Structure 1
Amino acid sequence: MAKPNKKLPTKTVAIYCSQCRALLYKYAKGGKGAMVKCFKQRILDDHTQTPCICPKCQNVFARDTLVRGTPAYKIIGGKVVVK
């Protein structure tokens, strides 16, 4: 499978915790589909102290994994809101 593009997409989205609405990431998202995974190299601003855990409510919202050989966070369904 192909790796994600080196050039970052121009569309920037904010990812929030669905439970407490705390800001988690500013992310360069490609495409218009649902937020399923976050490639680590595309995260512009990281507001979490520990990876995949909300800093405000300590809710686990993702899992650390490899997608197409690239480090990424796999988002758990319904745990985040994208604006």
Structure 2
Amino acid sequence: MAKPRKKQPLRTVNIHCAQCRSPLYKYRKGGKGALVKCFVERIAEDFTQQPCTCPGCGQVFAREMLIRGTPAYKIIGRKVGVK
């Protein structure tokens, strides 16, 4: 399969924990669809101390994996909100 585009999208979205509302990432998202995965190279700002764990409540909101040969976080359903 093809790798993600090298040119990053301009639009950034704020990703926050659905349970405690603490900020997790500022992410460069492309497209209109739901947030299913976060490519690590597209994260503009990271507010977490441990990968895939909320700094406020300690909830695990994603899993680390390789998608199309690129490191990414696969989001667990209804654990994060996007604004």
- How high is the TM-score relative to the length of structure 1? 0.99
Runs of 4+ that moved beyond 4 A: none
Q: Distance in 2 between matches of 1:31 and 1:69?
A: 21
Asked if 1:62 is matched to 2:62, the reply is yes
Asked if 1:71 is matched to 2:63, the reply is no
Q: Distance in 1 between matches of 2:69 and 2:51?
A: 19
**Structure 2 matches for 1:19-38, cutoff 5 A?**
19-38=19-38
Give how far 1:14 is off.
0.3
Report the residue type matching 2:12 in the other structure: T
Residue 59 of structure 1 aligns to a residue in which SS?
A: coil
Report the residue type matching 1:21 in the other structure: R
Report the residue type matching 1:23 in the other structure: P
For residues 50-78 of structure 1, what are the alpha-carbon distances to aligned partners after superposition, in whole Å with 9 as ceiling and x for unaligned? 00000000000000000000000000000
Q: Distance in 1 between matches of 2:30 and 2:67?
A: 15
- The residue aligned with 1:51 is 51
Q: Distance in 1 between matches of 2:55 and 2:30?
A: 26
Q: Distance in 1 between matches of 2:51 and 2:18?
A: 16
| Sequence identity percentage | 69
Q: Distance in 1 between matches of 2:17 and 2:80?
A: 5
Give how far 1:11 is off.
1.0
Report the residue type matching 1:50 in the other structure: Q
Residue 41 of structure 1 aligns to a residue in which SS?
A: helix
The size of the alignment, in residue pairs, is 83
